[in-house]
Amino acid sequence: MKVIRAKSAGFCWGVERAIDIARDFATKGKHPVYTDGPLIHNSQMMDRLQDEGIREVGDYQSRSNLSIREKEDTNAVLVVRAHGISPERRKYLKSLGIEFRDATCPDVGIVAGKIRIHAKKGYHTVIYGDARHPEAIGLMGYTEGRGHVVQSKEEIDALPDFGDKVVMVSQTTMFTQDFHELADYLKERFPAAVIIDTICGATKDRQGDIAVLYDNDVEAFVVIGGHHSANTRKLAMLAKRTGLPTYHIETAREVDHGEMSQYAVVGVTAGASTPEFLISEVCSRLAAIDAKTAAEV
């Protein structure tokens, strides 16, 4: 089988930066290194990080109180993951009495800054994103109570009448095409709305690579990443939109030799939280498949 791998497959730079920050503390003797929620939405990578002394506390949405033993953890450090947090959450985490390091992705920080600037001017903020996602939850904290998260035209229809002061941004990992379609729809209702495309470059590259793989005549897509990873699920959804068979798998163990042997050329991509070792294992497993060997499995 011919395997064509997307250039953008794997860690985005924001996730890689957060991991490097946590690992740097661990190698310098800071133990434990706490993260406010899972540093990365990939269980295999989290297992590796835990072995290195990096420990997840709290919950996925960064909302729960943390159980940290201040007296026993005098050498600990608390790292904020790439998704970012609200100002209120930051204030709480800093009150815990241990060393604090913010590893929020700079791209997410830019979105927060744009929201903050407009909120100070009295704007209402519309965020295209998932209201349950930690990034959107964190961004809402900068809206000064005038924020709304939407994913559909129906949710835009349900918005209150904001008048002229409306700004629309996006969670960094959303579909570019869908954002622009919703932004155009929002402008029909609020003609003076300020539209700021805040989908990050890494996400756009990842989405664009789906089209590149499709143009290379792949017969199916394999998307690697956690089954609960939001950005990986979005990537799989985008691949399905091409009409080609799409397989969302987490590890090489999920590769079905019999199923995949029907394809001569497969395109492989991966979510922003998928480590290189998992991608390499899947690509190697796929490359070893052909109709003859598959029949023998």
* Active-site residue set: 135
End-to-end C-alpha distance for the chain, whole angstroms: 15
Residue 234, C-beta contacts closer than 8 angstroms, at least 6 positions apart: 173, 174, 175
Q: Which 3-state string (H, E, C) describes the chain?
A: CEEEECCCCCCCHHHHHHHHHHHHHHHCCCCCEEEECCCCCCHHHHHHHHHCCEEEECCCCCCCCCCCCCCCCCCCEEEECCCCCCHHHHHHHHCCCCEEEECCCHHHHHHHHHHHHHHHCCCEEEEECCCCCHHHHHHHCCCCCCEEEECCHHHHHCCCCCCCCEEEEECCCCCHHHHHHHHHHHHHHCCCCEECCCCCHHHHHHHHHHHHHHHCCCCEEEEECCCCCHHHHHHHHHHHCCCCCEEEECCHHHCCHHHHCCCCEEEEEECCCCCHHHHHHHHHHHHCCCHHHHHHC
**For residues 80 and 13, is the Cβ–Cβ distance under 8 A?**
no
**For residues 112 and 69, is the Cβ–Cβ distance under 8 A?**
no
What is the rounded distance in angstroms from the CA atom of residue 183 to the CA atom of residue 47? 40
Residue 200 token pair: 């990050």
